[in-house]
Amino acid sequence: RIVYVYGQFVPEEEARIGLFDRGFLFGDAVYEVTAVIGGRMIDNDLHLDRLERSLRELAIPLGLSRKEIAGVQAELIARNALRDGTIYLQVSRGEADRDFLYSDALAPRFVGFTQAKTLTGTKAQQDGISVDLADDPRWHRRDIKTAMLLGQVMAKQAARARGFDDVWLVENGLVTEGASSTAHVITGDGRILTRAASRATLPGCTQRALALLCAAEDLAIEERAFTPNEAQAAAEAFQTSASSLVMPVVRIGDRVVGNGKPGPMTRKLQALYLEAAGVPV
């Protein structure tokens, strides 16, 4: 792979990042993941909006225009001849001798790389996945997409050890979100529910794009938090993210959702999303 490190495109074996990079020492960095399907970036404007917001919230002055950032992404796609997969971008606050406090004068460190991967028509997308339920172990600013992901790593790993494909996190008796996705359920009377934006969750770009597509189809996504019990009793369930798109969830904890197969509404939403992304369905 050709990767992007501090302004240069280099083979991954030659990439070097600094020992004193605050992203490495403190997780003091933000990131974004954009899906690439057929060589095209999906919902990238939403991802760049969110990257700018994350940077602003942490007062990291990247100093690059959106056009320049998108230029790096386009170059990564071209240099790696990427058809299907993801582009990862990360901006750390910069390098300085280890100290919790930082100076405003640090130069942010911008890196990026691609990951080739089939995103559509996978077995998981056809058959659905199982998710465990676990206490949300994360901090209180989950609206910022930081590289500080140990809570998600631990939760996903524990879910996998318990035989689940993924995990939905729970706080104060309500589902917050998936460990790396936005959680949705569809009630028996056909209402699509997802949690409203707040500091408790990351505002999902795939969720947002899907909500806009639904609105155009006169299908409303209702912004309301739901309990683990409501999720388990739902007619259908699914999660969204840039790397899993619209992913059916057919088992939640010890309960099968609906008849254990992706439901008709979920299928419709999958098709709607893929059609908008220009994928033949």
Which are the catalytic amino acids? 145
Which residues face 21 on adjacent strands?
A: 95
Residue 108 in contact with ligand PLP, rule: CB under 6 A: no
Q: How far is CA 243 from CA 117, 137, 185, 198, in A?
A: 9, 23, 19, 22
38: left (phi over 0), alpha (psi -120 to 50) or beta: left
**Sign of the torsion formed by the C-alpha atoms of 270, 275, 279 and 281:** positive
Of the candidates 50, 59, 52, which has an alpha carbon nearest to the alpha carbon of residue 106? 59
Residue 21 in contact with ligand PLP, rule: CB under 6 A: no
Would you give the binding string for ligand PLP spanning residues 126-165, x where CB under 6 A is met?
Answer: ----------------------------------------
Residue 204 in contact with ligand PLP, rule: CB under 6 A: yes
Tally of CB atoms within 10 A around 63? 10
Residue whose CB is less far from ligand PLP, 51 or 76: 51
- Cβ at position 106, least distance to ligand PLP in Å: 26
Which residues face 256 on adjacent strands?
A: 251
- Cβ at position 94, least distance to ligand PLP in Å: 24
Q: Compute φ and ψ for 130, nearest 5 degrees.
A: -105, 145
Residue 183 in contact with ligand PLP, rule: CB under 6 A: no
Q: Which of residues 22-41 bind ligand PLP (CB under 6 A)?
A: 33
Residue 44 in contact with ligand PLP, rule: CB under 6 A: no
Residue whose CB is less far from ligand PLP, 46 or 258: 46
Judged by the rule CB under 6 A, the positions of this chain that interact with ligand PLP are 33, 177, 180-182, 202, 204-207, 240-242
